[in-house]
Structure 1
Amino acid sequence: MRDDVARLEGDRPSVAELEDRAFELRSKLLHLCGTYEGAVHIGGDLSAADIFTALFHYGLRVDPHDISNPHRDRFLLSKGHAAVCMYIAMSMRGFFSYEGIVDTYGQLDSAYGMHPCKVQLPGVEASTGSLGHGLPIAVGMALSGRHRGDAHRVVCLLGDGETGEGSVWEAAMAARSNSLGNLVAFVDRNRQLMTSHAEERIAFEPYPDKWRAFGWDVVEIDGHDMASLVKAIDELPAPDSDRPTVVICETVKGKGVDFMERNLAWHAGSLGAEDLQRALAALEASRQKETV
């Protein structure tokens, strides 16, 4: 058992190294968007890229060479349309190759679909994409782990738009009612829906207070600040605690590419050769600006 757990710990990269990996993740994401003929959910992928990096390269206790390790943390992507960003983050961790994603993404029978499928891709914990379903599944997994006396965490990434679904709040109530301190939700709070900005259609605010009212510990951070993400992960309560935690990550849809940021037209799209070079140049300029 000790060897199984030790393999899950690994060496944790520094904040600077994580920032480099997040930049690499965004670059690879743009390259895929420039080679795939169909639409990629690029806006929400870019807003969640730092969160994916922090989780798969720092926070989650997982071993890409032992994906069935019973002591592993479980990760569920409730905002399943951001699957390609998850695939790339996992490939960078060593679960599979980036080239395999690029070569087959979105094709018939590909393991890399627009939404994740656990049957097609080992290492994915649950097939998701129908919004509002990920947190209820995560609650079930966390409750099962609690009954078995397991020490792992169940981590679920949601988009803020999908938290307009009633099933999310039923799950939130069940999590607190069952004292699931082993459950952590990260919310990609980019404040945009598919065709509108959040408050134009749904009154989310006061958003953190809604989670507090359901009995959750609430952490609010800048979801693009890697040091804040690392701190939030380091300060999570122990899995045997009795209150679930939600980390609300304030993000920008299309982050890193100026002509995509907060632009409703880039909820999903594709990049031609000229647009790809423009996007990569914008990403590089954004990185230089942040490091000055």
Structure 2
Amino acid sequence: MDSSELRQLRILAAKSRLGAILGTYHAKSGHPGGSLSAADIFTYLYFKEMNVDPANPGWADRDRFVLSKGHCCPSLYATLALKGYFDWNELTVLRHIGAMLQGHPDMKKTPGVDMSTGSLGQGISAACGMALAAKLDGKDYRTYTLLGDGEVEEGQVWEAAMFASHHKLDNLVVMVDQNGLQIDGTVDEVAGIEPLDKKFESFGFEVIKIDGHDFEQIASALDKAKTVKGKPTAILAATVKGKGVSFMENQVGWHGTAPNKEQYEQATAELKAEIKRLEGEC
């Protein structure tokens, strides 16, 4: 990946964060913190990694993505809009009655959403089903799912992990957004999940640990996952909750709080300044 590609990805990620702030502000509700921490992962998946076609969202041979931590959909929606699945202005009516974009992804209403999610722990199970279906049908599409580190406390996650390992789902990549915070406090305080790498390894996964804001590390991990045979891959991505907005970073209160007008204007100004800086680089 050359410097120009990296810069373009960083610009797209900043725009994804901008869209998440736009949506949650207009909704007066939502989950900006975890949306911002996952923006780089969404950006890389949709603009570099996955074989998808916005003009044909239901294409049978497309790669699949399941947002298991469904409440963090604002930046996923922004990424889908940037990719061309629907108009950017849809973000301004996020969570409004009758709008396409709701507080959790809806596969029946939103182009580009492969699975309706929201109940934590269930998305990874659906992703396992997709990966197994590809195996049974002799298809070569891959399935990706993103979990929150707080979500990993759910028992169903580990049932799905056993299933994935048992069925040797080497076409499945489970990514964990490890921002260290959940609605009630730090993950360590609520229900410590470490050593998470050893847990996934004991369930039969290939495990890769990365900085979830470093596109080169994201690329390297996903490239390595394609070489793994006979078992699924878990990518543990260390991130910052609220990434990209100074007053939101590492603040648990922004898990599920929408910005007011003053906060919206400050966050928007910061992100637009970052976009302008990146666009000005040679």
Q: Into which bin does the TM-score normalised by the smaller protein fall?
A: over 0.9
Identity of aligned residues (%): 38
1:250 equivalent among 221, 229, 238: 238
Amino acid at match of 1:65: A
Amino acid at match of 1:252: V
CA RMSD of aligned residues (A): 1.9
2:267 equivalent among 242, 263, 279: 279
1:107 equivalent among 96, 102, 115: 96
Cα deviation code 1:9-29 (max 9, x no counterpart): xxxx82221111111111222
CA distance in 2, matches of 1:98, 1:76: 21
CA distance in 2, matches of 1:116, 1:259: 27
1:70 equivalent among 45, 51, 60: 60
Once the 2 structures are TM-superposed, how far is the Cα of residue 35 of structure 1 from its aligned partner? Answer: 2.7
Q: Is the Cα–Cα contact under 8 Å of residues 216 and 243 in structure 1 kept in the other structure?
A: yes
2:16 maps to 1:25: yes
CA distance in 2, matches of 1:204, 1:284: 36
1:261 equivalent among 249, 260, 274: 249
Q: Is the Cα–Cα contact under 8 Å of residues 184 and 190 in structure 2 kept in the other structure?
A: no
Q: Is the Cα–Cα contact under 8 Å of residues 110 and 120 in structure 1 kept in the other structure?
A: no
Aligned match of 1:82:
72
Aligned match of 2:125:
136
Once the 2 structures are TM-superposed, how far is the Cα of residue 283 of structure 1 from its aligned partner? Answer: 3.8
Aligned match of 2:36:
46
Cα deviation code 1:147-199 (max 9, x no counterpart): 11110001111111111111100110110111100111111011111021010
Q: Is the Cα–Cα contact under 8 Å of residues 15 and 230 in structure 1 kept in the other structure?
A: no
Once the 2 structures are TM-superposed, how far is the Cα of residue 140 of structure 1 from its aligned partner? Answer: 1.0
Change (3 A) 1:65 1:74: same
Cα deviation code 1:73-106 (max 9, x no counterpart): 011010000112111101100111111231x311
Aligned match of 2:50:
60
2:203 maps to 1:214: yes
Amino acid at match of 1:118: M
Q: Where in structure 1 are there 5+ consecutive unaligned residues?
A: 1-12
Cα deviation code 1:182-239 (max 9, x no counterpart): 1111110111110210100112111111001101001110001111112222222258
The aligned runs of 1:163-174 (5 Å cut-off) are 163-174=152-163
CA distance in 1, matches of 2:106, 2:262: 32
Count residues in correspondence. 275
Aligned match of 2:193:
204
Taking structure 2 as the reference length, the TM-score comes to: 0.92
Amino acid at match of 2:267: A
2:151 maps to 1:162: yes
Amino acid at match of 1:144: A
Cα deviation code 1:24-73 (max 9, x no counterpart): 1112222333333x212000000101111011111111000111222110
Amino acid at match of 2:91: I
Taking structure 1 as the reference length, the TM-score comes to: 0.89
